[in-house]
Amino acid sequence: MPEVLDWRRIADSYAVIQYAVQALRRGRTIAFPTETGYALTASGLVPEAVQQLGAATANGAQDPLTLTVRDAAEARDWAPAMSPLAQRLARRLWPGPVTLLVGGTEQGLANRLSDDVRTRLCPDGSLRLATPDHEALREVLRHLPGPLLLASLPGDNGTAAANAEQVLRLAGERVDMVLDDGPRPSAQPATILAVNGEDWQVVQPGVVSAEQIRQQMACLIVFICTGNTCRSPLAEALCKKRLADHLDCTIEELPARGFYVLSAGLSATLGGPAAAEAENVVRTYGGDLSAHRSQPLTPDLAARADYLLGMTHGHLQALTDYFAHLGVQPRLLDPAGDIADPIGCDRPVYEACGRHIWDRLESLVAEIARKEEG
Instruction: Report whether 164 contacts 180 (CB < 8 A).
Output: yes
Instruction: Report whether 334 contacts 356 (CB < 8 A).
Output: yes
Our answer to whether residue 239 is catalytic in this structure is no
Peptide bond preceding 95 in cis form (omega within 30 of 0): yes
Which of 121, 141, 144, 145 lies closest to 133, judged by CA? 141
From the list 225, 230, 239, 353, the catalytic residue is 225
Q: What DSSP element (H or E) covers 178?
A: strand 177-180
Q: What is the DSSP letter of 161?
A: P
Alpha-carbon span 64 to 101, nearest angstrom: 11
Alpha-carbon span 100 to 216, nearest angstrom: 14
Instruction: Report whether 245 contacts 292 (CB < 8 A).
Output: no
Strand, helix or coil at 193?
strand
Q: What is the DSSP letter of 249?
A: S
Which of 262, 263, 268, 261 lies closest to 226, judged by CA? 268
* Distance spanning both ends of the chain, measured CA to CA: 57
From the list 25, 257, 341, 345, the catalytic residue is 341
Identity of the residue numbered 312: T
Alpha-carbon span 3 to 356, nearest angstrom: 64
Our answer to whether residue 230 is catalytic in this structure is no
Identity of the residue numbered 355: R
From the list 91, 231, 304, 360, the catalytic residue is 231
Alpha-carbon span 21 to 179, nearest angstrom: 12
Alpha-carbon span 50 to 239, nearest angstrom: 50
Alpha-carbon span 98 to 89, nearest angstrom: 9
Our answer to whether residue 231 is catalytic in this structure is yes
Which of 204, 176, 207 lies closest to 34, judged by CA? 207
Instruction: Report whether 192 contacts 101 (CB < 8 A).
Output: yes
Q: Which residues are catalytic?
A: 225, 231, 341
